Amino acid sequence: MFDEHEQSRIRTIGISSNNETFSINNNNSETFSSIKNLIDNFVTSKKAIIDNICLINPVTRQAWELLNSDLQITIPEIVLGKGTFGVVQQGKLVKNSSDVAVKKANRGEMTEILLGEILEEARIMRHVEHVNIIKIYGVVIETLPIMIVIELIDGCSLSKLLINKEIPVGHRLSMVSGIMYGLWYVHDKKYIHRDVAARNVLVSKDFTQIKLIDFGLSRRGPIYSIQSTQKVPTKWLSPEALIRGIFSCKSDVWAFGITIWEIYNDGVEPYESKTKSEVRTFLSDRHLFAENQLNLQNTKSEEKPPPGLHKLLKNIFRFNEDIRPTMAKIVSSFETEIIPHLTGADLENCKLQQNRGGHSKSPITTGPVTISSRSSRSGRRSIPKKTKDSRSNRSREKERKPKTKTKSVSVSRKKDSARRKAKSRSKK
């Protein structure tokens, strides 16, 4: 709605219905047989719909704003998962008959706060489109309960695979790399996930698709502070998140480290022998933490982590978040210190995760090569560093040449002037 006197103001105008006719509230003089006819009349006539407000341009429905008619819930119902938020069921998009997963909130618990959280989750998911992140197709808000429509992965959670010991040899490290690239992208888009864990990773049956899910706690910005951490499982929280309620990309990095530990310990809960209060106690003290720090020295899984991962995890579990590495630094270390020493299935599966997302400048080869830490997310071929430097050197030379030439001309002119003055003095 546009108000010619108050251009920045938004107004909500009610439409009344009476005996199958429609009219604007407080404007009962005109009635219409449908809402469409009512709108069309005010648009074409240019008459004020109320006060000084005229209808000018419509706000069209976005592609992600789905109607109930755009979606079919599979019958009989196929439940893919349940949680405190509600249920995830299988459905189908009508326009292309593609199978999807439908996240439905509990109807009875639909408060204004929960509604805002669901819409915020959908908004964030629309801005983080990546091969290692679950894709959103849209949101149905026409009627309650609100539904988020996301891609359907034929598989299950990483946590379930770990607990059931169903991950083949040569795939654990690729799980680490898939999560790593997805989280790196989330941080690059200036978002904090806040709930990184094996339970929030989906893996396809062929183990090639590894996707971060559940952005219900995610927030945009460098730091997010809260008063209570009840919603987030204590044992995945970094010291600053647990004690001070401060979340950032660095707290995500810590949770990523916990997830690495889960992967090589068959999905066992971290600090399994300790209570939540005990975990809070030693995470609040640097020295106690050093005595209880998680590591990969004695892992429970039959498949052992590569040596480089031990060092990486030690850096991730820095008590001080200021010296904890960023995801960009972790990717760099992974590609330069771990991948070059891999062979066999580990190398092939990590290569698949890196190349399918277009993360590196060039595909990983099967030999022990060093991978550049600077990556191209677009998948386009980047200019080699040498060529780029030579180009920049040539441009700098071109910039210097005119200045040098101008200076020499100026100097020569000054010399000529000095000579002429000397000659005139000698004649006198």
* Catalytic residue IDs: 195
Q: What are all long-range contacts of 23-29, with beta carbons under 8 Å and residues at least 24 apart?
A: 24/49, 24/50, 25/50, 26/50
**Cβ atoms 155, 209 nearer than 8 A:** yes
Secondary structure class of 232 (helix, strand, coil): coil
Give dist(CA 359, CA 182) in Å, integer: 10
- Amino acid found at 9: R
Q: How many CB atoms lie within 10 A of CB 266?
A: 17
Written as six digits, the tokens of 82 are 């349940």
Give dist(CA 31, CA 21) in Å, integer: 6
Exposed/middle/buried for 321, CB within 10 Å: 0-12, 13-18, 19+?
middle
| Residues ≥6 apart with Cβ < 8 Å to 165 | 266
- Amino acid found at 222: P
Give dist(CA 53, CA 55) in Å, integer: 7
165 is in an annotated binding site: no
Give dist(CA 358, CA 116) in Å, integer: 34
Give the C-alpha distances (Å, rounded to integers) separating 424 from 178, 413, 415, 419, 428: 83, 17, 14, 9, 6
**Cβ atoms 308, 347 nearer than 8 A:** no
- Please report, in range form, the residues annotated as the binding site for ATP: 104
